[in-house]
Amino acid sequence: MSDSDGKKTLGLRGGSRPGNVKQSFSHGRTKNVVVETKRKRVVVPKPGAAKGGSGAAPSTSGSRRPAGISDAEMERRLKALQAAKAREAEEAAQREAEEKARAEERERRRAEQEAKEREQREAEERARAKAEEEERQRIAAEEAAKRAAAAPAPEAAKAERSAPNKPAPAATPRKSEREREQRPSRGKGRDDNRRSGKLTLGQATGGEGNRQRSMAAMKRKQERARQKAMGGSVEREKVVRDVQLPETIVVSELANRMAERVADVVKSLMQMGMMVTQNQSIDADTAELIIEEFGHKVTRVSDADVEDVIKEVEDKEDDLKPRPPVITIMGHVDHGKTSILDAIRNARVVAGEAGGITQHIGAYQVKTESGTTLSFLDTPGHAAFTSMRSRGAQVTDIVVLVVAADDAVMPQTIEAINHAKAAEVPMIVAINKCDKPAADPMKVRTDLLQHEVIVEQMSGEVQDVEVSAHTGQGLDELLEAIALQAEILELKANPNRAAQGAVIEAQLDVGRGPVATVLVQNGTLRQGDIFVVGEQYGKVRALINDKGERVQEAGPSVPVEVLGLNGTPEAGDVLNVTETEAQAREIAAYREQAAKDKRAAAGAATTLEQLMAKAKEDENVSELPILVKADVQGSAEAIVQAMEKIGNEEVRVRVLHSGVGAITETDVGLAEASGAPIMGFNVRANASARNTANQKGVEIRYYSVIYDLVDDVKAAASGLLSAEIRENFIGYAQIKEVFKVTGVGKVAGCLVTEGVARRSAGVRLLRDNVVIHEGTLKTLKRFKDEVSEVQSGQECGMAFENYDDIRPNDVIEIFEREEVTRTLD
C-alpha cells in the first residue's frame, strides 16, 4: 500500500486528542497535566446507499450490515432466517391440522353421546310406557272386579266387555306428556359436555342424566294412585314409637328418636317459649311434653342403665362345671408364705423379690400329683399392704393362714384373720418353720384361740398342718387339706358364657402398655374379646399365663395377664366382657364421669366457714409434698396409704400425685413446681426426665423395699418438726446484799448455794418463790475480776441486764436451754 492511494494509514489515536493544561496553586506553584478529550463518533450513511439497497441482491446490501461481518457470514444469517420462517409456517400448518382433528373428534364423541342418550331415553320411555300400560290394566281390572261385585250379573258382564276399551282414550295425553318430558331432557343432555365421557349410576341402571327415583318412591307413588282411584285418603298412618328419654337430650337426637323433622321439633319448642337450636340440650320434662305432643310414648331411662348390659345372669344347674379352687396365702411378714408356695411350685420367687419380702400379689397355678389344679394367690404381709390382702380375701375360696412356729401370732396375722372372717371364707392354718429348734406349734394354737380360731387339735373345725418350707415337711398334708376343703365347698362355674373376673394387680409396662393380672371367676376369657374393667375398656390382644406362655383362652379360676387395655385399671376392679366396643366405651365413659362428679361433689360440699376453719388449722401445719411412681397399681396404693399415716398435728406428708410406670418429664415438671422429691418404687426415670431433673434440681430417689421408702419419708418429715426446747437447771444463788455501783447500777452480792453460776446462762429472779423477772446477766464478778462461772459455796457479784429491782434474800435461779431434735413415732 503506497502513500499515493489517498487513504489514511491505520492508527490507534481514534477519537481522543491529547492536550496540556497548566494548573496554578498557591505560593506561585504550577503543574502541567496531560488531558485527553474524546469525541463521539457519528456514522453518516453514504448518499447512494438508500437507493442501491432497495433493488439490490442480498450480497449488495453490505451498507446495512453490522460492522465487521463478511458477505459469507451475512449470507449464512439470511439463510438461517429464511429456514426459521419456513419452520414457523410448517408448525402453524401442523397446529391447524391437529386442531381440526381434535374438533372432528369432539364432534364425533358428541354425536356418539347424543346417540347413546337418545337410545337410553327411548328404552326408558318404552319401559315407562310398558309400566304405565300394566298399571292401567291392573287398575281397570280392579275397578271391573269392584263393579262386578256391586252390580247384577248382566251389568257385570257389560262392564267386563267395556273394561278393555275404556283406557284407550287416555293414551293421547300420556304421549303429549312424554314429548313434554323429552324436550327439556334432550336439551339438558346436549348442553352437559363435561360429563360426556363418564358413565353415571343413573345411566348404568337405565335412568336419565338426572337422579332416578328409587323403588320405594315408585311403590309409594303407586300406592297413592291406587288410594286415589279407590277414593280413600292418601295420608300415611302415624307410626307411634317408644322413645327412650335420658336425663338430658340434644334436640336433634330427640327428633331422630321420634323419626320427626328437626325443624318441626324446634318449631314446637319455640311455641312453648324455648328459643333453642338443634344442637342444644333440653331437660327430660320438656322433652317428655314434646314427645307426647307428637303422639309418641315416653320411656324414661337413666345414665346408669348403660351398665344393664353386664347384669348378673343366674346360670342353670346343668351349665355349671367343677372349677379349681382359688387359695390365698396370708400371714405376717417374714413368716414364710412365699417360701411355702415356692416349695409347692418348685420355683424361686423369693430370690426375685427385693429384700426377700413380697411386695406384689402373685397369682400362680399348681398341678398336684393327684392331677388336681389349684390356683394360688400370694399376698404381701407388710403392714402397708392392707388393701392387697383385703382384695386377696375377696376373690378367694380358701385362705391358708401361715404362722411361724417360732414367732406365733403377730399383728398382720390378726389382720389376715379379720379379712378372712369378713369375706366369709374357710381357713386352713399352716404352722411353718417347724424344723427350727425354737419352734413351738402349741403356742401358735393357743394364741389363735384368742382370735376365735379354734383348730382341730383344740376340738375345733379349722384344719391345721405343721409344715416346713425349708425341708418340705407337711406340704403333702397341706395340699390334701386344701383338696378336702375344696371338695366340701363343691366349687362350680359356667365356662360357656361371657367372662367375668377380678383385677388382682395392674401395671404400666414400657413395651406392652397397660397390663392387668386378672383372675377369671366365671365364663371364659378369649383372645379378641371386648371388655370393660372399672373406668377402662379394651380388646384382649394377648393372654399370658403364670409361666409366661401365651394362651388363647382362660377359664374359671385361671389367673392371666391381659394386654390390650386403653389405660391402667385400679386393682380390685371387676372385668366384664361386652358384645360391642361401643357398649364398653359407653360404660367406661359413664363410670369415669360418675367418679369425676363424685370427686367434684366431695370438693363442693365444703362451706366457706369450713374452708376458713381448715385454713386456720393448716396454718401451723408443715407439709412435706412428694410424688410417688410405682411399678404396679397395688404398690402405689400401699405407698400412698403408708404416707397418709405418717405425721402428727404439726407435720404431715402430702402425696401430690401417685401413678404407675416410669418417671417422665411431666412428673419432673410437677415436682419442680411444688418443690417435691420424686419417690420411684421399682421404676426408673427415662433419659429426658433425668436430664430435666438435673437441670431443674429435682431430687429423684429410687427404692425397691417399702420399708426403706417409709423410713426415709419419716426422717424427712421429722426434719420439718420444730426442735423441742429443754431447760436444765444448773444452779441457785441467794442475794446477801445489794450495792450501787456507778456506771453499772445495782449489783447483787450473792452466795451460790447449789450447782454453778454461769455468765452465759439464763437467770430468773424469785421472790417468795414467785418468778418476778427472767433475763440474762450483765456481769458476773468474783472479787473485782469478771469470771465466766462461779462454783457452789463461793460468793460473787451479779448484775441483771435492764433490771434493777433486786432485794436482799431474793433467790436467783440459773438455767441453760438446749434444743432437742424431735422425730415422728
Q: Band of the pLDDT at 18, cuts 50, 70, 90?
A: low
pLDDT digit string, tens, across residues 276-319: 888 888 888 889 999 999 989 888 877 666 666 676 667 777 77
pLDDT (0 to 100) of residue 318: 75
Highest mean pLDDT: which of 417-421, 437-441, 813-817?
A: 813-817
- Are the C-beta atoms of residues 696 and 677 closer than 8 Å to each other? no
Of 322, 405, 332, 391, give the one whose Cα is nearest residue 363: 391
pTM here is 0.51
Q: Give the mean pLDDT of the chain.
A: 79
pLDDT (0 to 100) of residue 423: 76
> What's the CA gap between 710 and 703, in Å, rounded?
10
Q: Band of the pLDDT at 347, cuts 50, 70, 90?
A: very low
pLDDT digit string, tens, across residues 59-101: 444 446 666 778 888 888 899 999 999 999 999 999 999 999 9
Tell which wins on pLDDT, 798 or 43: 798
pLDDT digit string, tens, across residues 626-649: 999 998 888 888 888 888 888 777
Residues of the chain with pLDDT > 90, as a percent, come to 13
pLDDT digit string, tens, across residues 682-723: 889 888 888 989 988 889 999 888 878 888 888 888 776 667
pLDDT (0 to 100) of residue 49: 45
For 565-595, b/e burial (b = at least 16 CB within 10 A) is: bebbbbbbbbbbbbeeeebbbbbbebbeeee
pLDDT (0 to 100) of residue 380: 67
Q: Band of the pLDDT at 763, cuts 50, 70, 90?
A: very high
pLDDT digit string, tens, across residues 202-222: 555 555 445 667 888 888 888
Tell which wins on pLDDT, 283 or 386: 283
Mean pLDDT over 564-585 rounds to 86
> What's the CA gap between 224 and 728, in Å, rounded?
112
Residue 175: pLDDT above 50? no
One-letter amino acid for residue 189 of the chain: G
> What's the CA gap between 789 and 757, in Å, rounded?
5
Tell which wins on pLDDT, 715 or 749: 749
Residue 232: pLDDT above 70? no
3-state helix, strand, coil in the chain (%, to 5): 40, 30, 30
Residue 349: pLDDT above 50? no
Mean pLDDT over 226-233 rounds to 72
Secondary structure of residue 751 in the 3-state scheme? strand
